[in-house]
A and B are shown apart, each in its own frame.
Chain A
């Protein structure tokens, strides 16, 4: 059933309709003669408010608005991966085919290719009783990922008829179900799901497995769980996007949803180009085969920016329901919050802090709570991990978006301006960052990596903390005045900072480091500390210890030891022993 309303006023992306044409909240509507896509966001008996996902230039009062009868939704079927969409799941390559280099208004394209034939392997048979969300077929969507075709979460019934294995389009009926009320229903591969409604699950598991990213400061110091939430706040140029790219490339999630929300156009182009060329070390296929990009660049309409996060989240939940581990990169949630603010301002709502609407916190919490390691309604187990970048105004973490985000995420990777200025990347600061998953994940690390892992990790953090308080003194009196044991702490902290925490994203070996090597590096650094400390306690001055190039060698080990030559660590251990012996020999 469709209703029609008449436009009475336009203010940027917000339009007002006369009276109440019978629209529902969050219903998708078509606006004006170009049929721009919009969403109902406010209803009173005098007027209806619609936000428009496209540029509103040229719209006049008196034009009509038609309802579609369903909320703003995404289309879910094979073809999502290895694709790039705008904020409301319109494929940008299709838009380019019809509209040329620029994104025109009122372009209507199918979200997913309706012509393409997919090789379908049916795994159910006639007479099966299907519960909601049951998997009925498997489709190799890309060489890396098998798409599991499910029935919608609100459908249940007995199969009356089912097609043979073969090639089908996403709109071809695969099965006919007899529902509990006796009616028959044909189902295709395609489902629609409203973006603002979380897809249902059975239960939520506690965090037990880390999302391994290959980034040392994250995996070792501040780990993130699969199904967890993390935020990366940082001023411009501190490396938010770089960190997100690194995690998107190397993390051991099955599927990556990369949402470019209000960010640079060239960056999205870069991800698209780079991910098509880079090979996923785990599957041997191009990274794009497990990736979906949602691009709503900063010059695209602001309302679609607000929707893009939810679109991406819904796609992620869909793949989670198939039993995959999905990681979402949301870059940047601040732009999303600003879109909220802009729309709120246009609606003349009462502003709270810094002009943001008072519902900022509840929107943020609703967003991050959609993450989790879940048991799905079809019995599979999957997770959605959310990693949100935050772009605080002026790099000041006390602003509302950072503060409210901190309340709802459990992992905080704070980027530091000074580290970025020194080109110490990733510029995640070891003192201001934290991860609440440490204790949850400790059993995993003890079992899968090493029994001493957690202890070593804590000792490294302790050395860094000591360094920070010693630096206060050094700033006042200079480093030369310190006693030798404290000088040693500074020296070892330097080895940790440069040799371990700093990681070169452009270096072949260093860009992604396996857990085992991370542990061995940590082990070696602490071994060097132990040996040096015993030398210092024998009265050897630091200046003598520094004559040996062993400290520099350990620092450059991250480049010198290839990831598949971990046996070389024994040699380094021996070098430390030699260093110990030679110092004693020379100075005994």
Chain B
């Protein structure tokens, strides 16, 4: 029988200090009984001789130096996993909160996971059709990829994620044999956001295939640090042991990083940039890198983390470090949203790093890469033409610059701004792309092979396209 320790020697925010412990291990989970009634969990985050610093989940409210009994469990945080968890709702540390009873399972997994050996990874190549032209055409999502949405407060990132879930899960007939599931983790999310996703899953009839882990904005901050790890532990189990294709949605990574900063500062650590701890990169990596495909196993883990850029600043440490780890990003733009373009994806800073190997002949269509490069390049020139127009006026522009303005408007309106309910397949997306390129003279299209141009290019006008 394990020893129970009575009392604490200090309480500071979410951290408590326990002295006189024997055999405490780094990263071990402890069980605490407060005033003989309430049960709380905690995690040892530092040990020095007989002193342990413990991070308490569920907040330190009600804790006193003398009313706590602490018991060491002897293992790191574990989650009991089972296929039955699909269709259920849990709190931030994986306890059921939907009143449907406990999960019965003998399989306990360490939530910290272990790094996947690069040798055993399989390089992701199967594209996921989201039905959204900007994504499918220009930043294709690949099974096993981690592709975050960089957004800002008030932008429709939740709608976009929901649309991806609906169209990707239901739209693809050829893959209907394979098992598909969604793991949804909300860290510090508003109640409305969590509810929005719940309703979306119900409406699209996938809720039996969704496991939700919800840590709301007013739930304990420290639990947020556990939520994505718990969710990914389940995702890995379902993908690599049960052969399912798992889409993981993590929202909002900013809240996770804020929680990390809060705990770090309670510990008195030396801050690096903007007060975030120096290990923010490693911590984020330990979450994002848990996407992928393992050789010889059926399933895959695809991640769509959502993060709100503080003050829309893409150079802020959270989006910045995320971009260095993830395989691309989808950037939403307030300006486009203001012009009622939905989804308001700013394609220029957006990117999918795995796209190049998952498109083209045998995957989508041979001209895909060329069309994508050309659209990027032309749309970048639209920016120059607009800047010039704002100085000298639209009338003074050269004829070619005027054509770019027309192209830019059509690109935002037709290609990107397809609306909430349009579900385009890849051929439709490429056709829209070629229509738009037809607005420009052929001499301007310098990124596409001559032969491909011969096959698809057709000069057109805005009137002909019905603009």
Q: Which A residues have a C-beta under 8 Å from some C-beta of B?
A: 8-12, 16, 55-62, 84, 92-93, 95-96, 99-104, 235-237, 260, 262, 264-266, 268-270, 272-273, 295, 297-300, 302, 335, 338, 341-342, 344-345, 348, 351, 354-356, 391, 393-396, 417-418, 421-424, 474-480, 498, 506, 549, 552, 555-556, 559-560
Q: Are B26 and A269 in contact (CB under 8 A)?
A: no
Q: Mark B47-67, 1 if CB is under 8 A from A, else 0.
A: 111100000000000000000
Q: Are A475 and B387 in contact (CB under 8 A)?
A: yes
Number of A-B contacts (CB under 8 A): 226
User: B349 — which chain A residues lie within 8 A by C-beta?
Assistant: 237, 417, 421
A268 to B117, CA, bound (A): 10
Instruction: Determine if B279 is an interface residue (Cβ-Cβ < 8 Å).
Output: yes
A77 to B447, CA, bound (A): 47
Besides A57-B112, A236-B324, A344-B278, 18 more A-B contacts (Cβ < 8 Å) are A55-B112, A56-B27, A58-B25, A60-B26, A101-B116, A237-B329, A237-B351, A262-B281, A265-B118, A266-B292, A295-B118, A298-B285, A299-B286, A354-B272, A355-B272, A394-B315, A423-B380, A477-B391
| Minimal beta-carbon separation of B108 from chain A (angstroms) | 15
User: B114 — which chain A residues lie within 8 A by C-beta?
Assistant: 55, 102-104
Q: Are B76 and A58 in contact (CB under 8 A)?
A: yes
A7 to B416, CA, bound (A): 58
Q: Are A102 and B76 in contact (CB under 8 A)?
A: no
Q: Are A297 and B46 in contact (CB under 8 A)?
A: no
Q: Are A394 and B320 in contact (CB under 8 A)?
A: yes
Task: Using C-beta atoms within 8 Å of the partner chain, give the interface range for chain B.
Answer: 35 or more
Residue of B nearest to A555 (CB): B446
Could you list some 15 contacts between A and B, CB below 8 A? A9-B49, A16-B48, A55-B112, A102-B113, A103-B116, A342-B282, A345-B269, A393-B315, A394-B314, A396-B315, A423-B380, A478-B401, A506-B356, A549-B443, A552-B446
User: A394 — which chain B residues lie within 8 A by C-beta?
Assistant: 314-317, 320
A62 to B49, CA, bound (A): 8
Instruction: Determine if B392 is an interface residue (Cβ-Cβ < 8 Å).
Output: yes
Residue of A nearest to B450 (CB): A556
Instruction: Among B297, B325, B348, B450, point to the contact of A421 (Cβ < 8 A).
Output: B348
Q: Are A272 and B118 in contact (CB under 8 A)?
A: yes
Q: Are B282 and A269 in contact (CB under 8 A)?
A: no
Residue of B nearest to A260 (CB): B118
Chain B residues 348 to 362 lying within 8 A of chain A, measured CB to CB, are 348-349, 351, 353-354, 356-357
A338 to B283, CA, bound (A): 12
Q: Which B residues have a C-beta under 8 Å from some C-beta of A?
A: 23-28, 46-50, 75-76, 110, 112-124, 144-145, 240, 269-273, 277-279, 281-282, 285-286, 288-290, 292, 294-295, 297, 314-317, 320-321, 323-325, 327-329, 348-349, 351, 353-354, 356-357, 369, 373, 376-377, 380-381, 387-388, 391-392, 396-398, 401, 443, 446-447, 449-450
A295 to B119, CA, bound (A): 10
| Minimal beta-carbon separation of A413 from chain B (angstroms) | 18
User: B277 — which chain A residues lie within 8 A by C-beta?
Assistant: 345
A355 to B76, CA, bound (A): 30
User: B325 — which chain A residues lie within 8 A by C-beta?
Assistant: 264, 298
Contact (A391, B377) CB under 8 Å given A265-B118, A506-B356, A559-B449? no
User: B387 — which chain A residues lie within 8 A by C-beta?
Assistant: 475
Q: Are A351 and B270 in contact (CB under 8 A)?
A: yes
| Minimal beta-carbon separation of B135 from chain A (angstroms) | 16
| Minimal beta-carbon separation of A260 from chain B (angstroms) | 8
Q: Are A298 and B294 in contact (CB under 8 A)?
A: no
| Minimal beta-carbon separation of A472 from chain B (angstroms) | 12
| Minimal beta-carbon separation of A33 from chain B (angstroms) | 11
A299 to B351, CA, bound (A): 22
